[in-house]
Amino acid sequence: MVKKSSIKVAVVGVGNCFSSLYQGFEYYREHKEDNIPGIMYADIGGYRTSDIDVVAAFDVDPRKVGKPVGKAIFAKPNCARVFQAKVPAGPVVQMGNPLDGVSDYMKEQPEELGFRVAKLKTVDVVKVLKDTKADILINYLPVGSQEATEFMPSAR
């Protein structure tokens, strides 16, 4: 197997879990040693965390859509702990298809705690994934988002 120069990752759902993951990518980027606290295996198949490149991101919240990932991960209603404030700007978050990805409960929450849906045209997710040559699509949609998950293409 010939190693590619990077692993191109796309993500759907720019919430708390992705905020922590994206911060972690930057936090661990400069570690070259093999024993890194918080990382079970520093090298898997010749790849390290520094080989991960986020190439696309999708969300539906107007506080995130249209912003670079590096800003969107800190936008409300996200409330994940900030442990790496300095992160790369990354790609601009694009409008996904909400379908059942936003529960009525979250829509009813106060502005800074609940999800909102932008009144924007959804992008062609398949085209974006092909254009960016994403290797992996990470699904961070809320639990119970069956239709929205099935709408997302597989990363094959």
Taking the chain (156 residues) in consecutive chunks of 10 residues, what is each chunk's mean pLDDT?
82 96 91 84 90 96 97 95 96 88 67 78 93 95 78 56
Three-state secondary structure call for residue 10 = strand
Q: Residue 24's pLDDT is what?
A: 93
- Cross-strand pairs, 56: 10
Instruction: Spell out the domains of the chain, with CATH numbers in brackets.
Output: 7-151 (3.40.50.720)
Model pLDDT, residue 93: 98
Q: How far apart are CA 129 and CA 8, in angstroms?
A: 10
Element (H, E) at 107: helix 104-108
pLDDT at residue 149, as a whole number: 77
Give the pLDDT score at 156: 41
The pTM of this model reads: 0.86
From residue 75, alpha-carbon distances to 3, 15, 30 in Å are 35, 9, 26
What is the CA 108 to chain-centroid distance, rounded? 24
pLDDT for the residue numbered 84: 94
**DSSP assignment, residue 37?**
T
